[in-house]
């Protein structure tokens, strides 16, 4: 085996609560979101995991989630790398809209296609495939080499940027990955082999 890769989606955001398309907009966490992030830190501490480096997006909800995890695990001051390659999928013209209002404007079926298809982007935005096209090269160049050196690497990011990583790690198809839900504040712990394949995967729920 090589190293360990931990993926954590940010805690509930204010716009998650309000049922708004968020994308690259930058709302903060709700009170529940802060608690979810702290709970993620406690779960990781209980596993005895100590990180060598953390990666996150340039959006505050992911950064604050990371801060809570590092605080709970006693690892504040850890080397942290922020990059927009790990940002949430860009929802383009849908960003900031209530999902019900979007359905009223464009129709239930069209909004469902934008949300749940693999390769159909909303107007002015990204599809999940587009999101993967920026996440995967960054993972290969910056994150994976550190895991393969035997490091324990934490990534605090977003539902769709993490979906892209899970798709690659679990070798899922486009049809399969759109059905995968990644819970807010739920750590996913991968242990990788030296050839970058997955040796084990554990989701720290409950």
Overall average pLDDT of the 141-154 stretch: 98
The per-residue pLDDT for range 67-84, each reduced to its tens digit, is 999 999 999 999 999 999
Domain that holds residue 13: 4-203
* Residue 132: pLDDT band with limits 50, 70, 90: very high
With pLDDT > 90 as the criterion, what percentage of the chain qualifies? 97
**Residue of 36, 68, 72, 88 marked catalytic:** 88
Q: What is the chain's length?
A: 206
Q: What is the CATH number of the domain that holds 99?
A: 3.40.50.1240
What pLDDT was estimated at residue 28?
96
Q: Active-site residue 88, yes or no?
A: yes
* Residue 2: pLDDT band with limits 50, 70, 90: confident
What pLDDT was estimated at residue 101?
95
Q: In whole angstroms, give the CA distance from residue 99 to residue 53.
A: 36
In this structure, are residues 92 and 124 in contact, taking their beta carbons and an 8 Å threshold?
A: yes
**Residue of 10, 36, 68, 72 marked catalytic:** 10
The per-residue pLDDT for range 6-61, each reduced to its tens digit, is 999 999 999 999 999 999 999 999 999 999 999 999 999 999 999 999 999 999 99
What pLDDT was estimated at residue 206?
75
Number of domains present in the structure of the chain: 1
């Amino acid at each position: 085996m090589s190293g360990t890769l931990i993926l954590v989606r940010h805690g509930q955001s204010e716009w998650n609560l309000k049922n708004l398309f968020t994308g690259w907009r930058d709302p903060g966490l709700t009170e529940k979101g802060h608690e979810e992030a702290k709970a993620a830190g406690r779960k990781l501490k209980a596993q005895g995991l100590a990180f060598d480096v953390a990666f996150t997006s340039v959006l505050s909800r992911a950064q604050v989630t990371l801060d809570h995890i590092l605080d709970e695990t006693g690892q504040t001051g850890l080397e942290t790398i922020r990059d927009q390659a790990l940002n949430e999928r860009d929802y383009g013209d849908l960003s900031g809209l209530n999902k019900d209002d979007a359905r009223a404007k464009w129709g239930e079926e069209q909004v469902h296609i934008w949300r749940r298809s693999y390769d159909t982007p909303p107007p002015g935005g990204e599809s999940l495939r587009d999101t993967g096209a920026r996440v995967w090269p960054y993972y290969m160049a910056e994150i994976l080499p550190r895991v393969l050196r035997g490091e324990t690497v934490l990534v605090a990011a977003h539902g769709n940027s993490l979906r892209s990583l899970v798709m690659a790690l679990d070798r899922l198809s486009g049809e399969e990955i759109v059905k995968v839900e990644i819970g807010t504040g739920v750590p996913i712990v991968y242990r990788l082999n030296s050839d970058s394949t997955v040796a084990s995967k554990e989701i720290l729920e409950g």
